[in-house]
Amino acid sequence: MKIKVSSEIGLLKKVLVHSPDSGIGKVIPSKAQDWLFEDIVHLDTIRRKEYDYYTKLLLYFLDPLLIKGKLKTVDAPKNNYDFFKPGKKGFHNSQNVIEIQVLLSDILKDSAIKQKLVASVCAIENCSYKTQEVLLKQDAEELAKIFISGTGNNLDMLFPPVPNFIFTRDIGIVINDHILLNKPAKKARLREALLMKYIFFTHPLFKGYKDKIIELADSPYHFLLPVDADEYNVTLEGGDVMVVSSNHVIIGISERTSMAAAHQVATQLFKKNIVTKVSLVQIPRKREYMHIDTIFTQIKKDIWVMLGSFSKKRTKAALGDAILKAIEEQQPGTATSIIQFRKNDITKPVYFDSLEDLLVDISKKDLKVKGKVKIIHSGNDEFPFDLREQWTDSCNLLALKDGVVVGYDRNDKTLEAFRKEGFSIIDVKELLPQLENGTQTTNTLKNVFITIPSAELSRARGGFHCMSMPLLRDDN
Ligand SMILES: NC(=O)NCCC[C@H](N)C(=O)O
Whether 291 is in the pocket of ligand 1, judged by its Cβ within 6 Å, is yes
Q: Residue 183 gets which letter from DSSP?
A: B
User: From the CA of 193, how far away is ligand 1's center (Å)?
Assistant: 14
Closest residue to atom 9 of ligand 1, CA basis: 36
Give Cα 109 distance to the centre of its chain: 28
pLDDT reported for residue 318: 65
Helices (H), 81-221: 100-107, 111-125, 129-136, 140-149, 190-202
Phi then psi for residue 43, to 5 deg, are -60, -45
DSSP letter for each residue of 354-420 = SHHHHHHHIIIIIS---S--EEEEGGGG-TTHHHHHHHTTTT--EEEETTEEEEETT-HHHHHHHHH
Q: Quote the CA–CA distance of 404 and 448 in Å, as a whole number.
A: 5
pLDDT reported for residue 213: 98
pLDDT reported for residue 332: 66
User: Is the predicted pLDDT of residue 328 greater than 80, yes or no?
Assistant: no
User: Is the predicted pLDDT of residue 322 greater than 80, yes or no?
Assistant: no
User: From the CA of 466, how far away is ligand 1's center (Å)?
Assistant: 7
Cα 226 to Cα 223, 322, 347, distances in angstroms: 8, 33, 31
User: Is the predicted pLDDT of residue 7 greater than 90, yes or no?
Assistant: yes
End-to-end CA distance of the chain: 21
pLDDT, mean of residues 428-434: 98
pLDDT reported for residue 468: 98
Whether 178 is in the pocket of ligand 1, judged by its Cβ within 6 Å, is no
Whether 461 is in the pocket of ligand 1, judged by its Cβ within 6 Å, is yes
pLDDT tens, position by position, 89-108? 999 999 999 999 999 999 99
Whether 256 is in the pocket of ligand 1, judged by its Cβ within 6 Å, is no
Domain range annotation of the chain: 12-106+162-473
Percent of the chain with pLDDT over 90: 85
Give the angle subtended at the CA of 468 by the CAs of 463 and 473, to the nearest 5°.
130
Choose among 425, 384, 386, 420: nearest CA to 407: 425
User: Is the predicted pLDDT of residue 227 greater than 80, yes or no?
Assistant: no
Find all residues with CB under 8 Å of 465, minimum gap 6, and list them: 169, 239, 293, 297, 393, 396, 397, 398
User: From the CA of 392, how far away is ligand 1's center (Å)?
Assistant: 12
Give the angle subtended at the CA of 238 by the CAs of 18 and 236, to the nearest 5°.
130
User: From the CA of 308, how far away is ligand 1's center (Å)?
Assistant: 21
Whether 248 is in the pocket of ligand 1, judged by its Cβ within 6 Å, is no
pLDDT, mean of residues 339-366: 96
CATH no. for 12-106+162-473: 3.75.10.10
Provide the pLDDT confidence category of residue 336 given band limits of 50, 70 and 90: confident
CA atoms within 13 A on the CB side of 62: 30
Whether 452 is in the pocket of ligand 1, judged by its Cβ within 6 Å, is no
Find all residues with CB under 8 Å of 78, minimum gap 6, and list them: none
pLDDT reported for residue 317: 62
Please give the mean pLDDT across all residues of the chain.
Answer: 94
pTM above 0.90, yes or no: yes
pLDDT reported for residue 13: 98
Whether 51 is in the pocket of ligand 1, judged by its Cβ within 6 Å, is no
Q: Residue 430 gets which letter from DSSP?
A: H
Whether 462 is in the pocket of ligand 1, judged by its Cβ within 6 Å, is yes
The residue type of 463 is G
Complex confidence, ipTM:
0.97
Provide the pLDDT confidence category of residue 200 given band limits of 50, 70 and 90: very high
Whether 395 is in the pocket of ligand 1, judged by its Cβ within 6 Å, is no
Closest residue to atom 4 of ligand 1, CA basis: 466
Give the angle subtended at the CA of 452 by the CAs of 184 and 161, to the nearest 5°.
35
Give Cα 252 distance to the centre of its chain: 13
User: Is the predicted pLDDT of residue 229 greater than 90, yes or no?
Assistant: no
User: Is the predicted pLDDT of residue 431 greater than 70, yes or no?
Assistant: yes
User: From the CA of 186, how far away is ligand 1's center (Å)?
Assistant: 10
pLDDT, mean of residues 239-265: 96
Closest residue to atom 10 of ligand 1, CA basis: 36
User: Is the predicted pLDDT of residue 331 greater than 80, yes or no?
Assistant: no
User: Is the predicted pLDDT of residue 323 greater than 90, yes or no?
Assistant: no
CA atoms within 13 A on the CB side of 125: 28
Cis peptide before 204 (omega within 30 of 0): no
| Dihedral in degrees, nearest 10, Cα atoms 243, 249, 255, 257 | 110
Find all residues with CB under 8 Å of 349, minimum gap 6, and list them: 339, 340, 341, 342
Provide the pLDDT confidence category of residue 119 given band limits of 50, 70 and 90: very high
Cα 448 to Cα 277, 411, 471, 474, distances in angstroms: 31, 15, 23, 19
pLDDT reported for residue 324: 74
Closest residue to atom 12 of ligand 1, CA basis: 36
Provide the pLDDT confidence category of residue 312 given band limits of 50, 70 and 90: confident
The residue type of 43 is L
| Nearest atom, ligand 1, residue 462 CA | 5
Cα 330 to Cα 149, 322, 323, 335, 404, distances in angstroms: 43, 13, 11, 8, 41
pLDDT tens, position by position, 33-77? 888 988 999 999 999 999 999 999 999 999 999 999 999 999 999
Closest residue to atom 5 of ligand 1, CA basis: 462
Whether 290 is in the pocket of ligand 1, judged by its Cβ within 6 Å, is yes
> Residue 374: is it exposed, middle or buried by C-beta count within 10 angstroms (0-12/13-18/19+)?
middle
User: From the CA of 224, how far away is ligand 1's center (Å)?
Assistant: 29
Whether 242 is in the pocket of ligand 1, judged by its Cβ within 6 Å, is no
Please list, residue by residue across 115-137, b when 16 or more beta carbons sit within 10 angstroms of its beta carbon and e when fewer do. Answer: eebbeebbeeeebeeebbeebee
Q: Are 244 and 302 in contact (CB under 8 A)?
A: no
